[in-house]
């Protein structure tokens, strides 16, 4: 079965530190890739998405992600985090060979210290 892995369960950073959250997926041919963010007590919101084209994708709030097809990875990055980035981050992958089924990673909780 297809799967999505986020290796960091909980990341703690100080403000202004750089962030990189890992996301890997199992081989499955053509995919669409998403990062969602869930602020405390809220629902999930789309941060960014990749369908095709430039593998470096820019999203909202200064986040970006890079699709590396050879590594089956879609890591999320931000050069300088803020306290307001404290949230849980979910990677999600839609596999074409499963009718577009969207599979979520386990989530990474990010805590940013002021």
Q: Would you tell me which residues interact with another protein (CB under 8 A)? A: 6, 9, 32, 34, 36, 42-46, 49, 51, 90, 92, 94-96, 99-102, 104-107
Q: Is the dihedral of CA 101, 93, 67, 45 positive or negative?
A: positive
As measured in angstroms, the least distance from the Cβ of 44 to another protein is: 5
* Residues 6 or more apart in contact with residue 52 via CB below 8 angstroms: none
Measured from the CB atom, the residue of 11 and 44 that comes closer to another protein is 44
DSSP conformational letter for 9? S
Measured from the CB atom, the residue of 83 and 96 that comes closer to another protein is 96
End-to-end CA distance of the chain: 41
Measured from the CB atom, the residue of 25 and 34 that comes closer to another protein is 34
Half-sphere exposure of residue 33, counting CA atoms within 13 Å on the CB side?
A: 32
As measured in angstroms, the least distance from the Cβ of 13 to another protein is: 21
């Amino acid at each position: 079965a297809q799967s999505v892995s986020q290796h960091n369960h909980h990341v703690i950073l100080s403000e202004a530190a750089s962030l990189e959250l890992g996301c890997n997926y199992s081989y499955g041919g053509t995919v669409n890739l998403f990062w969602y963010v869930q602020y405390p007590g809220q629902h999930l919101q789309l941060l960014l998405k990749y369908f095709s084209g430039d593998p470096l994708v820019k999203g909202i709030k200064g986040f970006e992600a890079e699709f590396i097809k050879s590594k089956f990875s879609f890591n999320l990055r931000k050069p300088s985090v803020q306290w307001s980035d404290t949230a849980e981050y979910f990677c999600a992958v839609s596999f074409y060979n499963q009718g577009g089924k969207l599979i979520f990673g386990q989530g990474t909780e990010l805590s940013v210290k002021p």
